[in-house]
Amino acid sequence: MSVVIAEISSAPLDVAAHLAAVSHDQAGAVSSFVGLVRNHDPQVHGEVTRLDYSAHPDTARMLRQLAEEVAASCGDSEGNIEVRLAVSHRIGELAVGDCAVVVCASSAHRAHAIRCCSELIERVKHELPIWKRQHTADGVAHWVGIS
């Protein structure tokens, strides 16, 4: 079990690099999640034109820790199933259509890879201290993730 990428980046995310990073000879399946900036949010009135992502200074360390915990929980107790995870989240200004988050998980079997990928993105969305400020066409900005 290993975490091959766990990064917070202000540069565009490379989905192909994440897929390549988790590939290995025992991997019969790679599951991926790519989160894109959309032009709407059900909780916000108006068209979303861009986002600004901000992160706590410890976010990179916390992301690696989350990924390592998921990798440990996804493996079997005998170590017979190798799981590899790659995860990155953007910060800074993103336009509609930009890639905000990438998660890839590889394993010998599809159900296992899908479960690991799903578990990691859910933990990232619920536990990682990243906040977004959505800008709408009417010039208003709305913070999301700050409670």
Q: Where does the pLDDT of residue 43 fall: very low under 50, low under 70, confident under 90, or very high at 90 and above?
A: confident
Answer yes or no: pTM beyond 0.85: yes
Number of domains in the chain: 1
Domain span at 9 = 2-144
Q: Where does the pLDDT of residue 24 fall: very low under 50, low under 70, confident under 90, or very high at 90 and above?
A: very high
Q: For the domain that residue 31 is a member of, what is the CATH number?
A: 3.90.1170.40
pLDDT of residue 74: 85
- DSSP notation for 56-102: -TTHHHHHHHHHHHHHHHHS-TTS-S--EEEEEEE-EEEETT-EEEE
Report pLDDT digits (tens) over 62-114.
999 999 999 998 866 556 678 999 999 999 999 999 999 999 999 999 999 99
Cα 59 to Cα 21, 63, 64, distances in angstroms: 21, 6, 9
